[in-house]
Amino acid sequence: MALINCPECQKEISDKVKQCPHCGYPLIEEITEIQKVEVTSVNLNIDKRKKKRVVSIIIVVLIISLFAGIYYQYNMMQKEKEAAAALALAETTYSNNLQEALLLMLDGGSDAESLMNLTAKVWNNTIHEERDSETDKFTTRQDGNFYTDFNSSLKVLFLDTNTINTVKIIEKSQASVERIMKDLQNPPEKYKQVYSLLLELYSSYQSITGLAINPQGSLQSFTDSTMEKIDKFMELYNKVNTILPE
């Protein structure tokens, strides 16, 4: 039981009485209406609380989604920056290795060309018994006469200290170039065309250095092969330099 105020005389009465004991005002309908209003008010308050809770949840979800989106975008930007930095580093490293390979092949090719030219000169001067201050120590015996077999002259040439050192330099160049070429096997996208041409240059380089260390054939075929291989090597070398990325 609860106390309420009489709508007529405003005195406190029980909510269970049918009429006011003070003024006789009938109360059943009034109490019912009051109860309905109270119930409605309670329901409205409950609805408001539910709505506030739903709105709060929505706001929280939106905030979480916003921060998740920002975090995702930040991560993507970081990954893109890291990928770009990694690619730039890979391209720089590849470019440095490529330049080193080209320089080694050019130097090795130059040493090989010098040795082949000297070999051809010794070979020719022995056969034709031509004297020359550069080749006499290889083509003539101690008595001053020419070797009757050019192979003897070539043997003396390749046992000479300077020639031995030149061969060692060429062989060291071969080993260095071979090592770098292994590092260049997986070129970045911008260097794929260069690498394809570089393989041809490497093959030409191997051919030149191989012939310089181990001369073969006749004098004519050796001379022709030397010129042909040198021309091919320089043609490929220039082509590689032409298409190098900036």
| CA 242 – CA 119 distance, rounded (Å) | 32
- In the chain, the number of structural domains is 2
Q: What does the pLDDT read at residue 62?
A: 81
Q: State CA 187 to chain mean position distance.
A: 8
Contacting residues for 178 by C-beta, under 8 A, at least 6 apart: none
Mean predicted confidence (pLDDT) in 124-147: 96
17-60 confidence digits (pLDDT tens): 778 788 877 866 555 555 555 556 656 666 777 777 878 888 88
Q: Is the dihedral of CA 174, 180, 185, 190 positive or negative?
A: negative
Considering the domain architecture, whether residues 171 and 196 belong to the same structural domain is answered as yes
What the block records as the tokens of 50 is: 């539910």
Per the CB < 8 A criterion, the answer to whether 93 and 188 are in contact is no
Q: What is the pTM of this model?
A: 0.69
| CA 70 – CA 72 distance, rounded (Å) | 5
Q: What does the pLDDT read at residue 50?
A: 76
Considering the domain architecture, whether residues 114 and 53 belong to the same structural domain is answered as no
Considering the domain architecture, whether residues 119 and 166 belong to the same structural domain is answered as yes
Per the CB < 8 A criterion, the answer to whether 13 and 22 are in contact is yes
**Pairing relationship of beta strands 3-5 and 12-14 according to DSSP bridges:** antiparallel
Q: What does the pLDDT read at residue 37?
A: 55
In degrees rounded to 5, what are phi and psi of residue 59?
Answer: -60, -45
Q: What does the pLDDT read at residue 131?
A: 96
Considering the domain architecture, whether residues 118 and 220 belong to the same structural domain is answered as yes
| CA 237 – CA 244 distance, rounded (Å) | 11
Provide the residue type at 228 as one letter: E
What the block records as the tokens of 223 is: 């001379």
Residue 81: inside a domain? no
Kindly tell me if the per-residue pLDDT of 78 is higher than 80. Answer: no
Residue after which a domain boundary falls, among 76, 103, 132: 76
* Range picked from 71-80, 185-194, 203-212 for highest mean pLDDT: 203-212
Length of the chain, in residues: 246
Considering the domain architecture, whether residues 141 and 212 belong to the same structural domain is answered as yes
Residue 1: inside a domain? no
More confident of the two residues 189 and 59: 189
More confident of the two residues 34 and 73: 73
CB atoms within 10 A of CB 28: 10
SS3 20: coil
Q: Which long-range contacts (CB under 8 A, 24 or more apart) does 155-159 make?
A: 157/118, 157/119, 157/122
Per the CB < 8 A criterion, the answer to whether 167 and 213 are in contact is yes
Kindly tell me if the per-residue pLDDT of 210 is higher than 70. Answer: yes
User: Domain span at residue 48?
Assistant: 12-76
Residue after which a domain boundary falls, among 76, 101, 121: 76
In the chain, DSSP assigns E strands to: 3-5, 12-14
Contacting residues for 101 by C-beta, under 8 A, at least 6 apart: 177, 180, 181, 184, 198, 202
Kindly tell me if the per-residue pLDDT of 79 is higher than 70. Answer: yes
Q: Using 50, 70 and 90 to split pLDDT, how confident is the model at 87? A: low
| CA end-to-end distance (rounded Å), the chain | 95
